Structure 1
Amino acid sequence: MPGRALRVPALVVAVALLLSGCAAAPSGDVSAPEVTQPPAVAAEATPTAPSEAATPTPAAPAPDIQPPYGAGGVEVMPEGIEPTAVSIPAIDVEGTLIDLGIAADGKMEVPVDFDEIGWFTGGGKPGGRGPTVIAAHVDGLAGPAAFFRLDELTQGDVVSVTDAEGGVTSYEVTEVVTVEKADFPTARVFGAVPGDELRLITCGGYFDRDVGHYDKNVVVFATAV
């Protein structure tokens, strides 16, 4: 099943995400958005050496790749703190988080253990800007897995995420969607947002034994409160 989101301010989604996998077999894997580093900020041009009769023209400063959040001098939000645990009382989920990165093939890593819950290290962090993306399997060979009941969440349910410094950020569910893998809302899940938001991802729909994975994904959107 799934794994995490890009720290969109720092990473750019290169292709549409096709979250496959979530298989009930160990071979199932989850594709995640392939990302590329944003273009490097161009160095300031060096003024041409002045001649005896000419005065050098100062070079224009290179534009920032990422302008401060909010116009009019609004303070940039902090980076956030790495999450270590998640609690979802409405569906009896509570557990520590493992790190999920980008695999060598450009896809998002997924938990090896079906009971593990993972946080995408390329995404946001609680207390900062951008979506914190958490993912887990829906089931496995032994039965229901960590996010088996994820699709039961409803608007207003609360998800609490504990960070590495012991702080707890509470998020309120705003939307729960089930989508075809081919129509996965990459930009909404991994795209940049101006505030502290959370995404929870797992598989759903019909398990196709011929291909070894589910045909849909369940995505929960939540906002810090």
Structure 2
Amino acid sequence: MATDPTPQPATRAAQSTTRSARTAGRSPWSVPLAVLLVLVGVFATGAGLGRTAGPFDWADVATGSSRRTAEPARAREPASLPVRLAVPAIKVTAPVTPVGQARDGSIDVPPLTEHNQTGWYNRGSVPGDPGRAIIVGHVDTKSGPAVFYRLHDLKPGDRIEVTRSDRSVVTFKVDTVEYFDKANLPADRVYGESGPAELRLITCGGEWVGGHTGYEDNVIAFASLLDTRNP
């Protein structure tokens, strides 16, 4: 892929409070192929998030033939979709829209013009249902900070609320916020449709290196379910 000439965003990159997660990430080859193909390339470069918040940039892991033979992930059809995200500790209140899978195998993302919008990956779990739900957002754009600009400031115990279309509110607590080099992402900790209900908020951080990579790291907030309030 040709080098992306996009200049560095005007805002600072998120500063890491710990770098231990760099060595903790597993090699992509140790992750089942089915998981890799879902997460391959996760964000299309042209969508902007590939430059400023591209969590799973594994486009080089799977071959073209692997992508062609793999069955594409299908959008789930839950009874109640996530529609709003609130993270009081970092003053985030944002709409949530479903994002699916692009033709190149990447996850679709909110447009750069919607810098305060987040995207729920609708091939994965619904927030509050069993498994790990994934919500992505921009860290910044050329015009300034975006919705997950302060994601790295979250602390264990901070609350995250997801309002669903049936007006129920699912509350999670932050367990940890970690940085991962884009070459060593722990897919087995991020993706999964079974087990306890958990949430992953994902954006970019670390140093800006430009080109196809953008920021060198991914910032991931790991959160577990506290309760669900029904209307």
Q: How does 1:205-216 map to 2 (within 5 A)?
A: 205-211=206-212, 213-216=214-217
Counterpart in 2 of 1:87? 86
Report the Cα offset of residue 99 of structure 1: 1.4
Do the aligned partners of residues 180 and 146 (structure 1) sit closer, same or farther apart at CA in structure 2, a change above 3 Å counting? same
Shift of 1:81: 2.7
In structure 2, the gaps of 5 or more residues are: 1-32, 73-77, 227-231
The equivalences for 1:11-160 within 5 A come to 12-15=34-37, 17=40, 28=51, 30=54, 31=56, 36-37=70-71, 81-112=80-111, 113-160=114-161
- Cα root mean square deviation, aligned: 3.0
Runs of 5+ unmatched residues, structure 1: 1-10, 39-78
Residue 110 of structure 1, CA deviation: 1.5
SS of 1:187's partner is helix
TM-score (norm 1): 0.68
In 2 relative to 1, CA 223–25 (structure 1 residues): closer, same or farther, beyond 3 Å?
closer
Contact persistence 1:91–1:153 (CA under 8 A): yes
> Aligned partners of 2:80 and 2:219: how far apart in 1?
26
Change (3 A) 1:212 1:187: closer
Who is 1:71 aligned against?
none
Q: Which has the higher helix share?
A: 2
- TM-score by structure 2 length? 0.67
Per-residue deviation, residues 42-93 of structure 1 (Å, max 9, x unmatched)? xxxxxxxxxxxxxxxxxxxxxxxxxxxxxxxxxxxxx663111000000000
Distance 1:122 1:131 in 2: 11
1:192–1:99: structure 2 CA closer, same or farther, 3 Å change rule?
closer
Deviation track 1:83-121 (CA, whole Å, cap 9, x = no partner) reads: 110000000000111111000001111211322211111
Q: Separation in 2 of the partners of 1:213 and 1:21? A: 12
Which amino acid in structure 1 is aligned with residue 207 of structure 2? Y
Query: Within 1, Cα distance between the matches of 2:155 and 2:140?
Result: 20
One-letter amino acid of the counterpart of residue 122, structure 1: R
Shift of the 166–137 alpha-carbon distance from structure 1 to 2, 3 Å rule, reads same
Please name the residue that 1:43 is paired with.
Answer: none
Cα distance in structure 2, aligned partners of 1:17 and 1:185: 13
3-state SS, counterpart of residue 175 of structure 2: strand
State the shift of 1:193 in Å.
3.7
- 2:41 touches 2:107 (CA, 8 Å); kept in 1? no
Aligned length: 175
2:132–2:199 contact (8 Å) kept in structure 1 = yes
Larger Rg: 1
Pairwise CA distance, 1:195: 1.5
